[in-house]
Amino acid sequence: FFTNKGRVYWKKVHEIPEAGRMSRGKAIVNLLELKKRERIATILSVRDFKEQQYVVMATRQGLVKKTELSQYSHPRPSGIVGVKIREEDELIAVRISDGNQDIFLTTQRGKAIRFPESQIRSMGRASSGLIGIRMDSGDQLVGMETLREGDTILTVTENGYGKRTRTEEYSPHSRGGKGVLTIKGTDRNGPVVYGYQVTDSDEVMIITGHGKIIRLRAGDISIIGRNTQGFKLIDLGDGEKVVGVAKVMEDE
């Protein structure tokens, strides 16, 4: 478990209570010894801490960092530092890579950048990282991926619109650039809340602030170019906004 403050915690899967779809679940503070104002940013499922594998991280302010996976192989109940987080920043995404992939970053205002992972040198756990994308004032990072060729990028906005775009439409650039448009920012769309890669066979759940969830097959979402607005994916009530999107990892 990686928290917004950059700390890392462990839990065996069998130690997490299993429950039905309609249950509320168990509070994470009852499972992990979280610090004050810590919340879970992302979760990784790791079976083996192999050599030549890396943990790639991204923060809200556009910093990226790469650390060898083996540096996280010794769990402590109180957690360890996974990345040094600067003031007014927070960790938003973590992925495992083989060191040779491309990194893809998406911002709230609809910008995206793709650059080779080789442009990020491997660092220790307590370092803070490097600039991944330079954003305009008021913008922030909402997504980070380690790309697989042939997949598509699913972008979803706060007002329930979205689209898929082929990864080939995003040419690699140098780390630290300003990126290119990945979806048109309009009043109709609202800010971007999700920008991650999916395959035709993936399913996703779109979640609203009012607790509504819709489950969609990614292959049913149209593939269109970068410089477009997208289509309506979910009907929202007055004042209702999309707050999150999650991949369905496995059918029940």
**143-152 confidence digits (pLDDT tens):** 999 998 888 9
pLDDT tens track for 97-118: 988 999 999 999 999 999 999 9
Neighbours of 213 (CB within 10 A): 12
Q: What is the mean pLDDT of residues 215-225?
A: 90
d(CA 244, CA 216) in angstroms, rounded, equals 14
Assess whether pLDDT exceeds 70 at residue 249: no
> Is the pLDDT assigned to residue 15 strictly greater than 90?
no
- Is the per-residue pLDDT at 12 higher than 50? yes
CA-CA-CA-CA dihedral for 219, 221, 227, 229, to nearest 10: -170
For 192-211, letters b (16+ CB in 10 Å) and e give bbbbbbbeeebbbebbbeee
Q: What pLDDT was estimated at residue 240?
A: 93
- Distance from C-alpha of 236 to C-alpha of 77, rounded to nearest angstrom: 41
Decide if pLDDT at 224 tops 70: yes
Mean pLDDT of the chain: 89
* Mean of pLDDT values over 3-16: 89
Residues 145-171: pLDDT tens digits?
999 888 899 999 999 999 999 999 999
pLDDT at 2 > cutoff 70:
yes
Phi, psi of 108 (to 5 degrees): -65, -30
Place 252 in a pLDDT band, splitting at 50, 70 and 90: very low
pLDDT at 251: 47
pLDDT one-digit tens code per residue, 19-67: 877 777 778 878 888 888 888 888 888 888 888 889 999 999 999 999 9
What average pLDDT score do residues 127-136 get? Answer: 93
DSSP 175-244: TT---EESS---TTT-SEEEEEEE-TT-EEEEEETTS-EEEEEGGGSPB--SSS--EE-S---TT--EEE
pLDDT score recorded for residue 250: 53
226 versus 144: the higher-pLDDT residue is 144
pLDDT reported for residue 42: 87
Report pLDDT digits (tens) over 173-218: 999 999 999 988 788 999 999 998 999 889 999 999 998 999 999 9
